[in-house]
Amino acid sequence: MPKEQQMSVSVWRGGATGAFQSFDVKMEDNQTVLDVVAWIQQYADPTLSYRYACRVGMCGSCAMMVNGVPRWTCRTHVNKVLKDGHMEIGPLRNLPVIKDLATDMDPFFDKWIAAEGLHHPTQTRDDPIETIDPANAARVEINAGIECINCSVCYAACDTVAGNPDYLGPAALQRAWSVYNDSKDANKQAILDAVSGVGGCHNCHSQGSCAVHCPNDLNPMNAIAGLKRETARNFFKRRT
């Protein structure tokens, strides 16, 4: 019987301070990074903390840093990231670490609210449902944004967030851009004001890490450019 192949996996243990702990994990033909983390927790060390839910790339809860790059671990195959039989798994960057691989996502979601990425209704539940033309330009613009699964990979990838903790970040701004383009939204000015402050869209340096690392191939940088354009246009309009 051939000797089973092993890989060495360094996993972050602790909170803001801590260290990487090494585990030997059996290699399988089809194995995701999340499978590896689950194997360690089930067979090597049950005290390992991590977060996941759907395992099929829909819920956005299993994102981690793999070899220093933010990834959705449930859809990342081990053979794609393994380097010389080794990989390093850490908690998402730019977020407070609760324990091991679990980060506190509150700052990420609080910024969605701060960016006014929430619905401001034009009608009540008693009104008939408004018809939206799917080919309408504003509606087409929204298409990309609504595929966001809130995994925070873009937020972890963003160097501007790393340098400026106030910055709202790619996901929140992309959400704001989607809501801004929604013809059913009643308070577009509130959105423009929310993204024009100290942590607003104008901090973006267009480095594009968000678009590079987004697991769903979305382009938050494009949404942020849209917000910059609209706020600049509005800047003169409000003064005349």
Partner 1 sequence: MTLRLYMAQRITALVMAPLVLMHIAVMIYAIQGGLSSAEILGRTQGSILWFAFYGTFVVAVSIHAAIGLRTVLSEWAGLRGTALNAVAWAILALLLILGMQAVYGVTAT
| Window 177 to 196, contacts with partner 1 (CB under 8 A) | 196
Q: Which one of residues 73, 174, 203, 209 is an interface residue with partner 1 (CB under 8 A)?
A: 203
Q: Count CB atoms within 10 A of the CB of residue 99.
A: 17
The residue (of 78 and 168) whose beta carbon lies closer to partner 1 is: 168
Asked if 149 contacts 58 with a C-beta cutoff of 8 angstroms, the reply is yes
Q: Which one of residues 118, 202, 208, 222 is an interface residue with partner 1 (CB under 8 A)?
A: 202
Residue 21, interface with partner 1 (CB under 8 A)?
no
Per DSSP, the three-state class of 146 is coil
Residue 138, interface with partner 1 (CB under 8 A)?
no
Query: Residue 131 has which token pair?
Result: 């018809």
Residue 209, interface with partner 1 (CB under 8 A)?
no
Please spell the DSSP secondary structure of 155-179, one letter per residue: HHH-HHHHH-TT---HHHHHHHHHH
Q: Which one of residues 32, 160, 174, 219 is an interface residue with partner 1 (CB under 8 A)?
A: 160
The residue (of 111 and 228) whose beta carbon lies closer to partner 1 is: 228
> What is the distance between the alpha carbons of residues 215 and 123, in angstroms, rounded to a whole number?
35
> What is the distance between the alpha carbons of residues 28 and 214, in angstroms, rounded to a whole number?
26
Asked if 86 contacts 137 with a C-beta cutoff of 8 angstroms, the reply is no
Q: Which one of residues 27, 197, 216, 225 is an interface residue with partner 1 (CB under 8 A)?
A: 197
Residue 31, interface with partner 1 (CB under 8 A)?
no
Q: Which amino acid is at 150?
A: N
The residue (of 121 and 163) whose beta carbon lies closer to partner 1 is: 163
What are the residues binding partner 1 (CB under 8 A)? Answer: 160, 163-164, 196-198, 200, 202-203, 228, 231-232, 235
